[in-house]
């Protein structure tokens, strides 16, 4: 019975997602204004931080994201977004004056991709499943739709939108691309399979190489504006704090309470190497904007000064909706399970379910990329505000 029930849940979620997206799109189209002289399309690649419904359109058992309280804050129903409401890309889409996307896997026609496409899939990785299998890791929870697959999807959409070379060039020139965040799942999957930070760290150069390769592929196709987010501080995520709850007290940063071993020993290594590689790409491709989006700085600021940003001071490292225990980070119980511990007001929390942020946090993060200072140049710097 489990498989038919999962299929039924997925089908209901898809219908609800489509309804929610259609109504929200109509509102956005009515309230938004065309960004003349700005961008014609937005194309994004990534994982559950920006997945707007691809996962529930392919998975026969989408799990908690297809159930309430996911989506409760803005859409008032689950839409496949791993949050209580909108994601960073939703706020970017709103500012660009576009209606909310049809997820790529739900798109059927050219019209569905009129303003771009979101190829992000929950649990998406830069590396592919084969590489994880070679390291004797269980890939059951890793989507087969890695960065390379998502890039292939984009090429199909580009061909659909623009049958001639000149039309494709025009779309590439006038579009904005967001590649990532990638890397988080590449590292978190092994950590949740009892690998250590020291075991994971050697993966960093390969992950960054895959990300940089995707950026180079887009530039070769004609992209002129590409944003590449770094990792947010995984050591501040409640699920990681719960996982490493027995680490010595000295592993916790006195300013934030986050795990130094994860943030300094892994995330900072990834972000530094990524920034260096992007700087090399900028030198190799003068005239092309290849901008780093500083998710790490954004989230660290929120955690270090929660009250200043409208969050409860005592819950900066606590999940709003998860399985209880320290940091409300017990990952054996999902937010949607009967035994979950849920907060009364997600807008007062930075973290939603232990790994993903709340709409309130995503709103602030999006603003930092759209208007600065967490992306240079900000996305809106070439738009008429």
Q: Which residues are catalytic?
A: 48, 353, 356
Does any domain span residue 309? yes
Residue 24: predicted pLDDT: 43
Residue 378: predicted pLDDT: 97
Does any domain span residue 149? yes
Residues of the chain scoring pLDDT < 70: 1-37, 384-385
Does any domain span residue 19? yes
Q: Is the separation of the CB atoms in 200 and 187 below 8 Å?
A: yes
Q: Can you give the residue range of the structural domain that contains 172? A: 2-380
State the Cα–Cα distance between residues 30 and 367, nearest whole angstrom: 21
State the Cα–Cα distance between residues 78 and 135, nearest whole angstrom: 35
Q: Is the separation of the CB atoms in 215 and 152 below 8 Å?
A: no
Does any domain span residue 211? yes
User: Per-residue pLDDT tens for 49-83?
Assistant: 999 999 999 998 899 999 999 999 999 999 999 99
Does any domain span residue 122? yes
What are the phi and psi torsion angles at 172 (to 5°)? -60, -40
Query: For position 56, which CATH number holds?
Result: 3.40.50.1110
What are the phi and psi torsion angles at 188 (to 5°)? -70, -40
How buried is 217 (Cβ within 10 angstroms: 0-12 exposed, 13-18 middle, 19+ buried)? middle
Does any domain span residue 330? yes
For 5, the 3-state DSSP assignment is helix
Does any domain span residue 385? no
Rg (CA), the chain: 20
Does any domain span residue 140? yes
Residue 17: predicted pLDDT: 41
Question: Can you say whether residue 123 is alpha, beta or left, with left for phi > 0 and alpha for psi between -120 and 50 degrees?
Answer: left
Query: How many structural domains does the chain have?
Result: 1
């Amino acid at each position: 019975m489990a498989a038919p029930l999962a299929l039924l849940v997925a089908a209901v979620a898809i219908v609800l997602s489509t309804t929610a997206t259609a109504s929200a799109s109509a509102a956005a189209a009515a309230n938004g204004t065309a960004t003349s002289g700005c961008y014609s399309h937005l194309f994004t690649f990534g994982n559950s931080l920006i997945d707007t419904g691809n996962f529930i359109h392919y998975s026969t058992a989408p799990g908690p994201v297809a159930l309430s309280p996911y989506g409760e804050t803005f859409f008032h129903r689950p839409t496949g977004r791993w949050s209580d409401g909108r994601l960073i890309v939703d706020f970017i889409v709103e500012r660009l004056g576009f209606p909310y996307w049809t997820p790529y896997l739900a798109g059927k026609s050219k019209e569905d991709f009129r303003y771009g496409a979101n190829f992000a899939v929950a649990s998406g990785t830069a590396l592919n499943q084969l590489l994880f299998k070679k390291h004797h890791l269980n890939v059951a929870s890793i989507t087969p739709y890695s960065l390379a697959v998502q890039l292939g999807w984009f090429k199909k959409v580009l061909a659909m939108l623009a049958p001639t070379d000149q039309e494709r060039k025009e779309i590439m020139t006038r579009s904005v691309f967001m590649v990532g965040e990638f890397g988080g799942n590449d590292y978190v999957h092994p950590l949740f399979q009892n690998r250590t930070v020291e075991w994971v760290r050697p993966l960093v150069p390969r992950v960054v190489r895959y990300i940089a390769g995707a950026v180079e592929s887009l530039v070769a196709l004609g992209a002129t504006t590409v944003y590449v987010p770094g990792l947010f501080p995984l050591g501040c995520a409640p699920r990681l704090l719960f996982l490493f709850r027995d680490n010595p007290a000295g592993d916790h940063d006195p300013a934030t309470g986050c795990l130094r071993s994860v943030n300094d020993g892994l995330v900072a290594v990834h972000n530094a190497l990524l920034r260096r590689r992007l700087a090399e790409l900028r030198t190799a491709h003068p005239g092309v904007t290849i901008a780093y989006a500083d998710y790490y700085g954004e989230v660290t600021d929120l955690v270090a000064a929660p009250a200043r940003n409208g969050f409860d001071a005592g819950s900066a490292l606590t999940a709003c909706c998860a399985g209880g225990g320290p940091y409300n980070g017990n990952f054996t119980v999902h937010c949607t399970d009967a035994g979950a511990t849920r907060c009364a007001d997600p807008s007062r929390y930075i973290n939603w379910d232990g790994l993903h942020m709340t709409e309130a946090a995503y709103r602030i993060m999006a603003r930092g990329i759209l208007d600065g200072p967490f992306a240079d140049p900000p996305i809106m710097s070439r738009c008429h505000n």
